[in-house]
Structure 1
Amino acid sequence: MAELSATLEQDPVRLEPLTEHHLEPLRVACAQDQEIWDIYPVSMLDENFDKAIEAFHDTTSWARFVVINSETGKLVGMTNYINPDQHGVVEIGGTYLEPSVRGSGFNDVMKKLMIDHAFAQGFNRIEFRVDTRNKRSMAAVLKLGAKHEGTLRKNRTTWTGYVRDTAVFGLLWEEWDV
């Protein structure tokens, strides 16, 4: 996990490993879009924020990052490397960006930073798992060059009680066009 937990930066994106001093700014960023949390596995709003952070701390198989707009210095979201394994596979997910940076190319820069870094660390496959209701995220993953490899039907119950379908996307090192 240590090889993945590094500060990554390319204007206008700065990714920093999540630390205690990021928690309150992250809480503020998560509150910028109240409705989007309905399609996430967990909620990062109100009292759910503290429960989600506690669960993150109990999970050792994630490298957690906050996302900072390097032009303004403002924390605008979070993202993660999830379950890196000995076979060279890692998932990028749990990403949230506040509305102020959506649609600006910010997510594209962020994901490319993460993909480049994972491949540089020796990973050969990156996965993305997306709730099929999240059309914007699925389109963004396809735009990066990942392939839709299938859909896991009714495989996860979200915090709202909804049983979601999860689209699985894969990107191989040899497919990555930098």
Structure 2
Amino acid sequence: MAELSTILEQGPVRLEPLAEHHLEPLRAACAEDQEIWEIYPVSMLDENFDQAIEAFHDTSNWVRFAVIDTETGQVVGMTNYINPDPNTKVTEIGGTYIAPSVRGSGFNAVMKKLMIDHAFAHGFTRIEFRVDTRNKRSMAAVLKLGAQHEGTLRKNRITWTGYVRDTAVFGLLKEEWAR
């Protein structure tokens, strides 16, 4: 997993391995959208932020990034490689949040391209995305990347609000990635 944890940058997007100095700016970025957290598995608002960060320390199988807007120098979100497995050559990209200020600008597409290119360059052959079916914007973004909807896991996860969600699973194979 160490080879995945590096600085990635293109245009307005810079991904840096998440470090202590990113946490307070990330807290502020997460607070910019109070409503979106209702459809996330965990909340990153208020006191929930500290709990979520503490829980992150218990998951060693994630490669975490702070997302930085190079035009402003501000932390505008986070994203992760989840459970990268060098044996099966599969990783998931998820746990992504970006602030409203960069949504709809192509920022997310650049960020995902950086991550996909990097994973494929390091021998991964399949990338998965798992999205709450209520999150229509994220599902549309994943489809735009060329990922295929492979099915929906029904009522497979309980979110921080107690909601039992359905999770859409998307897959992108290296040979399908033509960017």
| Runs of 4+ in structure 1 over 2 Å off | none
SS of the aligned residue for 1:84 comes to: strand
Structure 2 residue 4 is matched with structure 1 residue 4: yes
Q: CA separation in 2, counterparts of 1:140 and 1:42? A: 21
Q: CA separation in 2, counterparts of 1:27 and 1:72? A: 17
Name 2:49's counterpart in structure 1: 49
Q: Percent identity?
A: 83
SS of the aligned residue for 2:4 comes to: coil
Per-residue CA shift, 1:27-70, capped at 9, x if unaligned?
00000000000000000000000000000011000000010001
Structure 2 residue 170 is matched with structure 1 residue 164: no
Query: What letter corresponds to residue 38 of structure 1 in structure 2?
Result: E
Q: CA separation in 2, counterparts of 1:11 and 1:67? A: 13
Structure 2 residue 104 is matched with structure 1 residue 132: no
Name 1:95's counterpart in structure 2: 96
Shift in Å at residue 135 of structure 1? 0.2
Shift in Å at residue 74 of structure 1? 0.7
Structure 2 residue 133 is matched with structure 1 residue 114: no
Query: What letter corresponds to residue 125 of structure 2 in structure 1?
Result: N
Q: CA separation in 1, counterparts of 2:9 and 2:84? A: 21
Per-residue CA shift, 1:127-171, capped at 9, x if unaligned?
000000000000000000000000000000000000000000000
Name 1:145's counterpart in structure 2: 146
Q: CA separation in 2, counterparts of 1:111 and 1:2? A: 19
Shift in Å at residue 6 of structure 1? 0.5
Shift in Å at residue 100 of structure 1? 0.2
Shift in Å at residue 174 of structure 1? 0.3
Q: CA separation in 2, counterparts of 1:127 and 1:69? A: 25
Q: CA separation in 1, counterparts of 2:34 and 2:94? A: 19
Name 1:123's counterpart in structure 2: 124
Aligned residues between the structures: 178
Q: CA separation in 2, counterparts of 1:105 and 1:150? A: 26
Q: CA separation in 2, counterparts of 1:65 and 1:137? A: 18
Shift in Å at residue 10 of structure 1? 0.1
SS of the aligned residue for 1:77 comes to: strand
SS of the aligned residue for 1:156 comes to: strand
Query: What letter corresponds to residue 34 of structure 1 in structure 2?
Result: Q
SS of the aligned residue for 2:124 comes to: coil
User: Which blocks of at least 5 consecutive residues in structure 2 are unaligned?
Assistant: none
Query: What letter corresponds to residue 152 of structure 1 in structure 2?
Result: L
CA RMSD of aligned residues (A): 0.4
